[in-house]
Amino acid sequence: MKGTKNRLLTLFAVIGVCAVIYGVWRVYERESAHERARAMFAAPASSGVPDVIHASPGPPPPQP
């Protein structure tokens, strides 16, 4: 009986450690995804591509 209790306790401990590692991994993935998104929108626009996010409105087009 004692060997069964020890195996069960060890199994639950391993499951708990795996759950903690999985939780930490999920938090890391979420934070790194947010950081990549922030970096993508903070980067300046490539040359030749209009910067529609930071562009100021220009004069209206000429009317015929």
Report CA torsion sign: 27, 30, 33, 37: negative
Quote the pLDDT of residue 1: 61
Quote the pLDDT of residue 4: 77
Q: What tens digit of pLDDT does each residue of 18-59 get?
A: 999 999 999 999 999 988 888 877 767 667 766 677 667 777
Q: pTM above 0.95?
A: no
Q: Would you mind telling me the total number of residues written for the chain in this entry?
A: 64
